[in-house]
Structures are given as C-alpha cells and as structure tokens.
Structure 1
Amino acid sequence: MESPDMLNAEATLWSQIFSFLKSMTLKCAIEIGIPNAIHNHGQPMTLYELHDALSLPINNKPNLRRILRMLTHVGFLSVRQNTGTDTELVYDLTPISRLVINKPNSSSLSSFVLAMLDFTFVKSSLHLGDRLKQDKLETFEMAHGCTLWELTGQSPEFNTLFSNAMASDSSFLSDFIIKHGNVFQGISSLVDVGGGSGSVSMAIAKAFPDIQCTVLDLPHVVSHLPDDGLVKFVSGDMFCYIPPVDAIFLKWILHDWADEDCIKILQRCKEAIPPRDAGGKVIIVDAVVGSVSSTTYRESQLLFDMMMMTVCPGGKERDEDEWWNMFKEAGFSSYRIIANLGVRSIIEVYP
C-alpha cells in the first residue's frame, strides 16, 4: 500500500475510533443549553455572548470554542463571520439543532438524545464483543445484571428517563403519522399497544374524534396516568391479552423483540381484531431496512440495529422479507408498506 493510501486509511480509522465523541459533544451541547440559548436570543450569537448566556466559568471559554467548532463541523450549528468584523464568528441553529429546542407546545427530541446517550445505554455497547463470544447473556444484562425491561420496573429514575425519551419521539413523529390519515379511515376503536404515556394516541384521538383510543402498557408505565376522557389507559401484558378492537397500533414495539416473541404479539393482535372485510388490521410503525434509498436513512437504520443488539434480547431492525415471514407465521394474509416516515415506515398488516 502506498504511503498516501496508508495515511488516508489511518485518518479514516481515527474518524471511526473517535466518532463516539461527536455524540458526546452533542450531549454536552444539550446539557449546557446551547440550542436553547441561541433560540431564546432570537439571532446568531458570538462565542462571548454564548459564554455569558450559559453562565460558564471564565476559564472554560476556550473549551466552549472547541465544542462549538465540533458542533459546526458535524452540522449541528452553522457558523459565519460576524457582519462588520474581520475575526468574530457568530453561531446559529440548523434544522438538526432545532429538533432539540425545549419550548412550550413544541416537540423536542432532547429527552430522546439524552436517554440514548446516557451511560446506562453506552455501557451496554462496551460488551458487544463479549456477547458474540458466548450464547448466554445479552449485552445489557452483562452491563447491568438485568434486562432493559427489568430495569425500567426496578428503577423509577431510569423508567422516567426512558419513558420521557419514548414520549419525545412519539410527540415528534405523531404529526407525520397523522398526515397519513387514510390509515385510520373506517376505524372506530384502536389499541395503542406499548403506547407509554399516550402521546401518539392522544394525537390520533384529537385528529379523529370518532376513534376510541386505548393505551395498553405495563402497570408501572400507566398506573399513575390519569384518564382524561380522550384516551383510556389499561394495564396489561401484550403477550397474554389485547382487548378486542378494530385496529391495533404498534409504534416502535416489535423491533424490541426476537422473531418468536414478535409472532406471539402478532398472534394476540390477530385474536383481538375482526376480519379484514370488517376493517380489522394492525398498524405498525417501525423501520424496514433497505426500504429507503437515502444514505443517511440507511446508515441510521443500521446504527439503530446495532443499538437494538446492545439493549434488547433478540431485538433488531428487519428488512421486508423478515417482516413478511413473521406476518405469515402469525397467520396474517397480506401487508402494505408506506415508506414516508424517514428512517421508519408505516406497515398495514391484514388478517
């Protein structure tokens, strides 16, 4: 190998090695409040303005500049020369950083980011090699001595962190799901299985008042949630029983489980809904690997597949053939994929 090729290979290797620091820099930006500060300021900010607004120690101004340099490099912020100056730079929000601004009546993904980059999840990824060398424990169990779902039941703090992350994702995605309103046409009742705090169900109920929406989830998830008349919350186990309904809604549920577990869940779904000619169906929101041509979407699907390998026993992202094989095994006759949710898709499955 020629010297330039070797040096390019080394640079690429370094980029791969240290890519985790892009994520940690993003986490830092949200924790110290950079996106919120620029948003609240109403216009781009200089390093000095940001330093003052964030109330950071004076000796951390050079470190803040280094953080901002990385954030602009990865596209989280934009940077330009300040008008009328030769050296001063101003930093502004981009579409990515606008996703994590915390403001009233707006969906923010900051809770999702902070949860996914919490050490609870990061620690699990350190055991990937150990997991592949043996066939007993999963990576999350290696890291924490219990499964993800056991930890949510044991630790109120982690349960809140995880629930807030899922709720923020649901709030963000609900508007895009509602735009595909034809999916919900002709439905009078719907059960949101594993729907958590009910963010998506509430959006569906508001957009389609004729649909009676129920959230089914584990007791520690829904027992404290009030019944506001818009959405009903029911404690239960999706592996055992799902209340009879026109349609079942499964958002980001099946990718948490191995194929045999998904088939059990789908069988419970099939038992709960009427035949297709009576309007029965299952509506799934999940990734279909390879269904989109965008390189960014594809990489995000593959990265989240690695995430599932580290946190959920048997959890994975599936391609279309893998989905169809499970649907057939569970007794369903056909399906339709609507690939218009970015990384994820809507899949209608018919009995």
Structure 2
Amino acid sequence: MATSENSTKLLRAQAHIWNQTFIFKNSASLKCAIQLGIPDVIQKHGKPITLSDLISALPINPSKALYIDRLMRILVNNGFLAQEKEGYYTLTSAGRLLLKDDETLSAREFVLMVLDPALVKPWSVLTEWFKNDDRSPFDTAHGKSFWEYMADDPKLGKLFNDAMASDSQLITKVLITECRYVFEELTSLVDVGGGTGTVARSIAKMLPHLNCIVFDLPHVVANQEGTENLDFVAGDMFEKVPPTNAILLKWILHDWSDEDCVKILKNCKKAIPGRDKGGKVIVIDMVMDSQLIKDDESVEAQICFDMEMLVLFRSKERTEKELATLFWDAGFSRYKVLPVLGTRGLIEVYP
C-alpha cells in the first residue's frame, strides 16, 4: 500500500511539473484565439455556434481546419469558452472580455501587450539577469529600459496605451458604480500618469462640477482633446505635479522603486492642500498578502503581476505595510484601504 501511494504521489508530481512546464501553452493559445477572432465570431453569430460554422468564418488556411478543435478544447478547459452537449460553443464571462468591438469592457489589448515578443523575451534571460548587474531583465534582453524601448517603438507604445486604457475601462465601471463617493466632494483632480485619459474622461463625465487634468509625458498626451472640465497637461511627475484638490495614481507606484515612489508621492503632496481642505491622493494598486483577498485565482494573479514588475522594471507589488512606509516617508499622515477593486485596492492617502 505504501509503495502504491508513493507511486501515485510521484506520478502526480510529474504531472504537476508537466503542467507548469507547458503553462505557456495557455497564454499562447489565448493570444492565438484573439488574433484569429474566435470570440468575435462566436459573438457575431448571435447564438451557440457549431465547430463547422466557426471554422467557415475564421481566416485560416483550409488545410488547418481539422486542428481548430484542439485549440477549442484548451480554450474550453481554461474557461474562455463553454461547450454544450450537442457540441455548440458559447462565450463565458472571461471569453466576453476578449471581444474586439466591446469598447467598454475588454481585456483583449492587455493580453496582446503582455504577450508581445518584446515583453516575453526578458523572461528567457531571467537566470542571466540574476547573475549580472543590469537594472532589470528587460534591460538585459533589450539593452535599454522598458520606458526607453517604448519611446523608440511607437507600435509598442500604442499597444501599451491601449492596454492601459482597456484596463481603465474595467476599473472605471467599478469606480462609477461602487466608489462615486470618493470623488463627489472634490473640486479638482489630476490623474498622474493617466495616459490617454480613459479614467479621467469617465470621472469628468460623471461629475460635471469636477475639473480634471490628465498629466503625462508629452508624447503620451500629444493630440489628446479635452472637454469643458477635462484638460491634458504634459510634464514629468518626478519634477512637479500640477496643483489640485486631489490626485489619482492608478497603477503607477508598482512600476517604480521605493526611492522613486517617495519622490512621486512627495511631489503629489506638494500639489494638494491640507486634509482639512479636502486634499488627498487616491492610489489604485495591488495590496499583496491582504487578508481580504482569499480566493486562489486572485492571489495567483497578484503573484504573477509581482513577477512581471520584477522582469520589466525591477519593481514590485507591495504589501499594505510596504505601501504605508512609502506614505510615511513622503510625509503623509494617514491612509485607508477600500477593498473594492478585486485584486487591487483603492487607497485614500491624506497629508
């Protein structure tokens, strides 16, 4: 019996190693499905679709049609599609987030950015990076930082901005429905590193009395059009932040070292009034090891993001204690975490 149990454990361990070794197959298959337009074909069909109808609508070489069922099987197994007994395919909630034409809720661009060859390559030199003195694995792979690479590659820069915008669309839906009170009493808001302004546009539209500014690098905000209560301002958050009632930092701090984060936060503190006059910084970032996040899917997502930050920037996702240290070092006196954004927290930080 003992020998049989040991053999079972050994074989399960081997299967676990196989799954982890081949885990890239999941992301590669997901990227392929997006690029072939499989979710879009199913959505446009308007009802559950058969494999033959799906194949006839896909832009593939006819000789490859007999292999599509293999791709569909892994998409079903990974929760992007559901297959009914009769063989019809439908989209799951995750599958619907991959649609190209859904302008309000989509993770499609984010998937394509993370799986772009330029962002995948640094993972292949992770061991080499641990042995050298380069700033990050991305530097080892490309000879320049992520931000320098993006400035030199407009295509990747656009992909990054589109990915951040798509994520912002998801976050904004929650902010508007669940967190409106965070913004209602403000008179002005600066979205630092706000990219093309997806979040700020929605907040400005939701609260017409609130004057919003999207503050980012010149090449990011160039040619962006504002509205009555939304402007785009070029600048560098490491030098100065425009004066305002409150500041939004969405997915900014996790890109930078502790020292750089303190610089950013100090500039934010200089830009806002005291707490008695409504001054605050609103931080949207992951809070690692949070007791409020217990489901395995969310915890795994946080751990994966932390490694992505290491590989791209040599930065990290932080625990609440680590974030608090940044706030104290920058001169803030108090903060509170609102667990309303799934894997991320909304943190109000006060002078």
Q: Measure the CA separation in 2 of the matches of 1:208 and 1:227.
A: 15
Using the TM superposition, name which of 298-307 and 169-178 deviates more: 169-178
- Using the alignment, how far apart are the partners of 1:175 and 1:5 within structure 2? 45
In the alignment, the residues of structure 2 paired with residue 20 and residue 230 of structure 1 have an alpha-carbon distance, to the nearest angstrom, of 45
CA contact (8 A) 1:107 1:168 kept: yes
1:303 aligns with 2:308: no
Find the aligned partners of 2:99 and 2:67 in 1 and give their Cα distance: 22
Q: 1:79 aligns with which of 77, 80, 83?
A: 83
- 1:151 is displaced (CA, Å) by 1.3
Instruction: Give the stretch that moved more between structures: 236-245 or 101-110.
Output: 101-110
* Match 2:67 to one of 60, 63, 68: 63
Task: Specify every segment of 5 or more residues in structure 1 that has no aligned partner in the other structure, as ranges.
Answer: 83-88
| Aligned amino acid, residue 338 of structure 1 | L
Equivalent-residue separation in structure 2 for 1:72 and 1:283 (angstroms): 38
Contact 2:134 2:140 survives alignment (8 Å) = no
Q: Residue 323 of structure 2 aligns to which amino acid in structure 1? A: W
Could you tell me how far 1:224 is from its partner in structure 2?
Answer: 2.1
Alignment partner, residue 219 of structure 1: 218
CA distance in 1, matches of 2:229, 2:65: 49
User: Structure 1 length normalisation: TM-score?
Assistant: 0.96
User: What's the offset of the Cα at 1:298?
Assistant: 0.8
Pick from 99, 104, 107 the counterpart of residue 105 of structure 2.
Answer: 107
Q: 1:28 and 1:200 mapped to 2: Cα distance?
A: 29
1: CA distance, partners of 2:76 / 2:98: 16
1:61 positional shift: 1.7
Q: TM-score under structure 2 normalisation?
A: 0.96
Paired positions, count: 344
Q: Which residue of 2 aligns with 1:200?
A: 199
CA deviation after TM superposition for structure 1 residue 73, in Å: 0.7
Determine the C-alpha separation between the residues in 2 that align with 1:106 and 1:91.
24
Which residue is equivalent to 1:145? Answer: 143
1:27–1:114 CA contact under 8 A, matched in 2: yes
Task: Name the CA distance, whole Å, in 2 between partners of 1:279 and 1:4.
Answer: 62
The corresponding residue for 1:171 is: 169
Q: Secondary structure at the match of 1:215?
A: strand
Aligned to 2:256: 257
Counterpart residue number, 2:120: 122
- Residue pair 1:205, 1:230 contacting (<8 A) in 2 also: yes
- 1:258, 1:58 → 2: CA distance? 51
3-state SS of the aligned residue for 2:88?
strand
Residue deviations 1:211-237, cap 9 Å, x none?
A: 100000001101221233342001000
How far 1:135 sits from its partner (Å)?
Answer: 2.8
**Structure 2 CA distance, aligned partners of 1:264 and 1:308?**
19
| Equivalent residue number for residue 44 of structure 1 | 48
**Structure 2: 5+ residue runs without aligned partners?**
none
CA RMSD of aligned residues (A): 1.2
CA distance in 2, matches of 1:141, 1:134: 11
Matches for 1:192-341 after TM superposition, within 5 Å: 192-291=191-290, 292-312=293-313, 314-341=314-341
Name which of structure 1's ranges 234-243 and 288-297 shifts more when overlaid on structure 2: 288-297
Q: Which structure 2 residues correspond to residues 18-33 of structure 1 after superposition, within 5 A?
A: 18-33=22-37
Provide the rounded CA distance (Å) in 2 between the counterparts of 1:69 and 1:110.
Answer: 20
Give, as a single letter, the amino acid of the residue that structure 2 aligns with 1:271: K
Task: Give the distance between the partners of 1:245 and 1:117, measured in 2 at CA.
Answer: 37
CA contact (8 A) 2:209 2:229 kept: no
Taking the aligned partners of 1:57 and 1:157, their CA distance within structure 2 comes to: 27
- Between 1:72-81 and 1:278-287, the stretch displaced more is 72-81
Kindly state the Cα deviation for residue 104 of structure 1 after the two structures are TM-superposed.
5.2
TM-superposition CA deviations, 1:151-201 (whole Å, max 9, x none): 121111111111111111111211111220111132100000000000000
Query: Is the Cα contact below 8 Å between 1:139 and 1:310 reproduced in 2?
Result: yes
Query: Aligned equivalents of 2:70 and 2:280: distance in 1?
Result: 52
Separation in 1, partners of 2:59, 2:305? 35
- Are the counterparts in 1 of residues 214 and 232 from structure 2 also a CA contact under 8 Å? yes
Q: Distance in 2 between matches of 1:136 and 1:117?
A: 23
Identity of aligned residues (%): 44
Distance 2:134 2:102 in 1: 46
- Preserved contact between residue 221 and residue 233 of structure 2 (Cα < 8 Å): yes
> Aligned runs of 1:1-20 on 2, under 5 Å?
2-20=6-24
Q: State the AA in 2 paired with 1:79.
A: Q
